[in-house]
Amino acid sequence: MKKKHIQLLALVSLMLGLTLSCDRHYLEPWPPDGAREPQDVWSYYDYTRGFLDKIYGDNLMPPHVNDVSGYAMLASATDEAKHSVEGADVYRFVNGAWSPSNGVRIYFSGNYYGAWRTPWDNAYMAIRRANIFLENVDNSILIDDISNPARRFDRTYFKAQAYFLRAYFQFDLLRRYGPFPITTHSLTPADDVYKPRNTMEECFRQIIEDCDKAIEGLPLLWDDKEFYRPNKTTAQALKSRATLYYASPLYQGDFEKLGIAKGETGDVERWKEAVRAARATINDNPYYDLITVTRYTPPYSYTGTYCQRVGQLRGASQIEVIWGSQYYQIYDEYYNMPTGLQGCYGFTNPTQDFVDMFEVVYNHGKPNARAEKFDWNNPDHAKDPYSNRDPRFYASITFNGLRWGFSSSRAFIIDTYEGGAHRDRLNPNSTKTGYYYRKRLSENFYANVSGMRGSYMMRLRPEYRVAEILLNYAEAMNEAYGPEATEQGGVPLRIQNISNALEAVNAVRARVKMPPIPSGLTKEQMREAIQHERAIELCFEGHRFYDLRRWKEGEKLGGPIHGIRIEATGFNSYNRPTGFNYTVEKVEDRVWHDKMYWWPIPYDEIVKYEGKLVQNPQW
């Protein structure tokens, strides 16, 4: 039975490999003259490259952010947001229905034509493809052709890409499932294919080994037409993230006991390794930097704003995003803009709990600027809750009273008050919290109906960017050395000569003219400040789902989430509200069990492995 399964797997893998890519020149009649055996693929240049490129087309994250089954965002499985469509698969994360036999699928595709798969299946599919490529490329037509400048480093670069992709998908397994069975060669019917899981340390070291091979072989930058390929800094960014996770409480100690306690530093050497990895990512490539922001007034996606500069720039001007989606995304607007706009779905609704995390800032951009936590018990905050907030609030949240649009003749006001155009409690898709997602969305898009649409915004969906690496550095420095201590013998960061945790987190805040975090904080206070900054700066980018888990802050994923009820107090002669009353209301009770720190391994994999694969703790 096992042999039949492997033979079928090998046949399917071969068929997939020969399909190669959706690009036209990969769809020429197959087999070409002289290619009659599987190994002959390695005798043809385009097919050899195409075998690896198949991973980019099939297995990476899609360009659009709504990639959880039911067109939800992963943010809707955290305190960041709620998915508007009740009963979508994303609710399994939060309602107690999640189980090995009732999992959640993710949409995987480097373009717009992918498939819904479990992350376990997708990762091993990609790893197998990378393994096959690495086993054959040294005997392929792909060489470092010194006579052809365009192909001078072909084999070196493509092997390094394969190592990066294998590390990338190994890390995807690690952050979801914990330790996994390591596979570094393509399995055949003669192999013992059902291997037990390796240890946490073995998995981590395998990821780092592949990252180091990728770093050694990849170029600093690719030509613009190859923007989707990882470069040296991409591999370093993956290494930075992997070392940070490995140092975190969930990844230390006894895996069966779900790591060490929340707030414990544990093995300091792990944090020091994370410091070195983040520093190398920043220092080894002068091209990347924190991108500047120059505008803080509406429209909030206009040229110079945080939304436009960080989220929408592409090509050579985008110096912050290290690596992102393989195709420019265009669908986020109509998936996430408010219902009440023709053809839009309004899927992602930020929670009041998350909205309240954005600080209130007075005298923004001035020397006497100060920031404080938002508090509904503060009358000044409560009477005008959307004024004077952290600039990243206006780049991330669509709220009541927001003026939307570049064109004065087409601009409109977002109305999520009771009875407003964009909140209809009888519409099952309408916002459940009083807010809609807006990060990276373009205000040149007005509806999803021909003639009313405006234009789609094409942009990268970021996987790694400079702000994350700076916050990785800040977190690791704080745990290893404290808030303001420097690393003995360590080299400052190339960006702003940063040498401690406080400077790193303040650099991210200074980019949007937020007042600095003051000196004199304890390690615990700085930890809280860094975690807050990650929540705000990296919101809706897929980090919080994993950050709260690795920090052992799972309780924040359970309990109630809240929204806002907004009632107009009166209307003027143009039928526009003249004032509002705000009431925070409970939207949903969520379930959290500690077993949810790790994804359950799919039930069919446990059965398939004939007892050699042990399920995750408490599942």
Task: Give the per-residue pLDDT at 381.
Answer: 98
Domain contains 173: yes
Domain contains 46: yes
Task: Give the per-residue pLDDT at 47.
Answer: 92
Domain contains 20: yes
Task: Give the per-residue pLDDT at 194.
Answer: 87
pLDDT over threshold 80, residue 530: yes
Helix, strand and coil in the chain, % to nearest 5: 40, 10, 50
Give the integer Cα–Cα distance in Å for 317 and 306: 14
600: pLDDT confidence band, cut at 50, 70 and 90?
very high
Phi first, then psi: what are they for 568, rounded to 5°? Answer: -70, 140
Residue with tokens 């229905």: 97
Task: Specify burial of residue 408 (Cβ count, 10 A radius: 0-12, 13-18, 19+).
Answer: exposed
Task: Give the per-residue pLDDT at 35.
Answer: 52
Task: Give the per-residue pLDDT at 40.
Answer: 81
Percent of the chain at pLDDT exceeding 70: 93
Domain contains 21: yes
Q: Which amino acid belongs to residue 445?
A: F
Smallest CA-to-CA distance from 458 within 335, 331, 320 is with 331
Which has the minimum average pLDDT: 1-15, 51-65, 309-323, 500-514?
A: 1-15
Domain contains 194: yes
Alpha-carbon radius of gyration of the chain: 25
Residues 6+ apart with CB under 8 A from 154: 142, 143, 144, 145
563: pLDDT confidence band, cut at 50, 70 and 90?
very high
Average pLDDT over residues 485-496: 95
pLDDT over threshold 90, residue 352: yes
List residues bridging with 107 in a β-sheet: 116
Domain contains 228: no
Q: Which amino acid belongs to residue 18?
A: L
Average pLDDT over residues 476-495: 96
Residues 6+ apart with CB under 8 A from 221: 231, 285, 287
Domain contains 146: yes
Longest dimension (CA), the chain: 81
Domain contains 55: yes
Angle, CA 554 vertex, CA 549 and CA 555 arms, to 5° = 165
CATH of the domain at 54: 1.25.40.890
pLDDT over threshold 60, residue 1: no
Phi first, then psi: what are they for 132, rounded to 5°? Answer: -60, -45
Task: Give the per-residue pLDDT at 5.
Answer: 41
**Three-state DSSP class for residue 107:** strand
The better pLDDT of the pair 326, 277 is held by 277
Q: What is the pTM of this model?
A: 0.93
Average pLDDT over residues 34-54: 84
pLDDT over threshold 60, residue 297: yes
Task: Give the per-residue pLDDT at 109.
Answer: 87
pLDDT, tens only, 62-103? 888 999 998 999 999 999 999 999 999 999 999 999 999 999
Is the alpha carbon torsion for 22, 24, 26, 31 positive or negative? positive
Task: Give the per-residue pLDDT at 575.
Answer: 95
Average pLDDT over residues 574-589: 97
Domain assignment of residue 145, given as a range? 2-60+118-217
Q: If you average pLDDT over every residue of the chain, what do you get?
A: 91
Average pLDDT over residues 498-504: 98
How many independent structural domains does the chain possess?
1
pLDDT over threshold 60, residue 535: yes
pLDDT, tens only, 361-418? 999 999 999 999 999 999 999 999 999 999 999 999 999 999 999 888 889 999 999 9
13: pLDDT confidence band, cut at 50, 70 and 90?
very low
Task: Give the per-residue pLDDT at 282.
Answer: 98
Task: Give the per-residue pLDDT at 36.
Answer: 59
Task: Give the per-residue pLDDT at 328.
Answer: 66
296: pLDDT confidence band, cut at 50, 70 and 90?
very high
pLDDT, tens only, 539-558? 999 999 999 999 999 999 99
Task: Give the per-residue pLDDT at 314.
Answer: 81
593: pLDDT confidence band, cut at 50, 70 and 90?
very high
